[in-house]
Amino acid sequence: MISERAKLVSWAYLVSDLAATAMAFAGAYAMRDAQVAVDRLGPLYPFGAYLPLLSGFILPVWALVFYSSGLYGRRAARTLHTEMSRLFRALVLCGLALAVAIVALQLNFVSRPLLGLFLLLNAIAVIVGRGLVRGLVLENTVRRRVLVAGGLAEVQSAAANVEAHADWGLELEGKRQIKIDPTSCQTNLPRVYAAGDVAGYPGKITLITIGMGEAAIAANNAVAAIRGEKVQPKYSTD
């Protein structure tokens, strides 16, 4: 099912984000350890002293904030611009939460240079990791070729959550419509058609009559594609 692929992408993002965060912390510690001779940067404790903070606070809070920010599951954005905007806000919230926790719990062994290095490396690592997920999972997995719509309620639900359709490989027109070729009503995927309010293209006017015309165009082209025939205009006076 389509939902199975969406779950795969969400789990891939979660694993990537947590791995990137853990590696960023280890990298920040290694970089800070290389500068341990610089007295003004403060003392550096053994790495084991930081593991409870990493496993007991950072990783769970990061996952919770990322999920609340709409970076996983059905709320996840599939357009790169929206995802980066949400990711930036989530990382800022995570950084603030960590800083508050360090002050509130008096974790004096976490120096400001270590914290700054970690947050910087974390942002870079998460972005790189999500880029790999997009390249290896989101783009290269087999996409579904059939979009099934039920009655009015199902169509309205699909239109309301159209941004999630990008996870199926469908190109979007804005945030609430699936991009189609107005001459055939075909999406960017072969043999996948859309018509009505859920379908969009530059200059479209969302009227009932327009949707009715698109439905006829989509059906005509879909039948021709299935039968391997040349598209022929069909008229009826019934």
Residue 233 is assigned to a structural domain of this protein: no
Same domain membership, residue 183 and residue 108: no
Kindly state whether residues 118 and 160 are assigned to the same domain. no
Determine the Cα–Cα distance for residues 230 and 10; give it in Å rounded to an integer: 41
Answer yes or no: is pLDDT of 36 > 70: no
User: At residue 38, does pLDDT exceed 50?
Assistant: no
Cα–Cα distance measured from residue 78 to residue 183, given in angstroms and rounded to the nearest whole number: 26
Residue 203 phi/psi, 5° resolution?
A: 85, 5
pLDDT band at 37 (very low <50, low <70, confident <90, very high): very low
> What is the Rg, in whole angstroms, of the alpha carbon atoms belonging to the chain?
24
* 71 plus 160 within the same structural domain: no
Dump pLDDT digits (tens) for 180-225. Answer: 999 999 988 888 888 988 888 998 988 889 989 999 899 989 888 8
The confidence band for 90, taking pLDDT boundaries of 50, 70 and 90, is: very high
Q: Are residues 156 and 212 in the same domain?
A: yes
172 occurs within a structural domain? yes
DSSP single-letter state for residue 191: T
Whether residues 86 and 172 share a domain: the answer is no
Same domain for 113 and 85 = yes
Q: For a pLDDT cut of 90, what percent of the chain falls above it?
A: 29
Please give the C-alpha separations between residue 210 and each of 15, 185, 204, in angstroms, as whole numbers. 44, 12, 9
- Residue with token string 């359709």: 165
Tally of domains within the chain: 2
Residues 68 and 128 in one domain: yes
- Does 61 reside within a domain? yes
Range of the domain at 172: 152-227
Same domain, 128 and 56: yes
In the predicted structure, residue 126 carries a pLDDT above the cut 80? yes
Same domain, 24 and 126: yes
- 32 falls within a domain: yes
Residue 25 lies in a domain: yes
Distance of CA 50 to the CA centre of its chain: 31
Domain containing residue 215: CATH number: 3.50.50.60
Q: Return the closest-CA partner of residue 58 out of 11, 121, 133.
A: 121
Domain final position from 106, 138, 170: 138
End residue of a domain, out of 91, 110, 138: 138
- Helix ranges, 2-79 (H): 2-34, 51-53, 59-68
Locate tokens 């309620």: which residue? 153
Angstrom distances, CA of residue 81 to CA of 2, 47, 123, 174, 184: 23, 36, 16, 12, 29
| DSSP character string of 59-122 | HHHHHHHHHHTT-SGGG---SHHHHHHHHHHHHHHHHHHHHHHHHHTT-TTS-HHHHHHHHHHH
- The residues pairing with 193 across neighbouring beta strands, listed in sequence order, are 186
Considering the domain architecture, whether residues 88 and 121 belong to the same structural domain is answered as yes
Q: Return the higher-pLDDT residue of 74 and 52.
A: 52
Q: Which residues contact 133 (CB under 8 A, 6 or more apart)?
A: 9, 12, 13, 16
Residue 203 CB burial class (10 angstroms; 0-12, 13-18, ≥19): exposed
| Residues 7 and 101 reside in one and the same domain | yes
In a domain, 143, yes or no: no
- 30 and 130 share one domain: yes
Instruction: Decide which of 79 and 145 is more confident.
Output: 79
Domain membership of residue 171 (yes or no) is: yes
Does residue 237 sit within a domain? no
Q: Is the pLDDT of residue 62 over 50?
A: yes
